[in-house]
Amino acid sequence: MIKVSVFYPADGGEKFDHAYYREKHLPMIQQRLGAACLGYEIDKGLAGGAPGSPPPFVAMCHIFSDSLESFQAAFAPHAAEIMGDVAHYTDITPILQFNEVIER
Amino acid sequence: MIKVSVFYPADGGEKFDHAYYREKHLPMIQQRLGAACLGYEIDKGLAGGAPGSPPPFVAMCHIFSDSLESFQAAFAPHAAEIMGDVAHYTDITPILQFNEVIER
């Protein structure tokens, strides 16, 4: 299993609409990916590790899929629509990472 | 519910023993935290978002807990032991973040 992690750096912008992200953006991705989306997680950054420090990331999501290939095949036809929706909730440029899931 | 995320930046060091991390470090944390650890995830970085790019993070873990307070109360008595174990598997300085879990 793989996990696609998307990070929104705290120093990368001013705006992040957590409600839109939860209620519109991720459900839309899940619908478009269909069976290639085995589930997803959403996190809202609260704090950094040092006492009183801000979180490095404002928000994150993690999308689970069987393989890189199945994710990419399902994502590609909807990439323009999904990427075009980002401006509705943030002006932060996201960072993407593909992971092998070692423990879930 | 909260999630404690620990990131190991890919440009932060040379060494990461994924087997030790999975088989020794995280099970030790789970044992020490007891009921304050509701579960955890481990990820191994495969690739970045741009084709052919490396992952920003070599590895990540995410530890679930009921609240910041319950996590910190359970972690504090074992902090020295847990932090002292890090040198056994990596020379990367980890980045820590506390999150509110929006979706799991």
Residue-level pLDDT, tens digit, chain B, 104 residues: 999 999 999 987 789 999 999 999 999 999 999 999 999 999 999 999 998 999 999 999 999 999 999 999 999 999 999 999 999 999 999 999 999 999 99
Check the CA dihedral B47-B63-A74-A79 and report its sign.
negative
**Domain A2-46+55-100 falls in which CATH fold?**
Alpha-Beta Plaits (3.30.70)
Q: Say yes or no for a CB contact (<8 Å) between B98 and A42.
A: no
Task: Chain B: give the shortest CA distance to residue A17, in Å.
Answer: 13
| pTM of the predicted structure, to 2 decimals | 0.95
Side chain identity at residue B85, one-letter code: D
From the number of C-beta atoms within 10 Å of its C-beta (0-12, 13-18, 19+), residue A24 rates as middle
Record the tokens describing residue B74, joined without a space.
């359970």
CB contact under 8 A, B41 and A101: yes
Residues of A in contact with B3 (CB under 8 A): 43
Residue whose tokens read 């032991």: B81
The predicted complex's ipTM stands at 0.94
Quick one: closest CA in B to A18, which residue? Answer: B102
> Using CB atoms within 10 A of its CB, is residue A18 exposed (0-12), middle (13-18) or buried (19+)?
middle
CB spacing of B46 vs A103 below 8 angstroms = no
- 3-class DSSP state of B49: coil
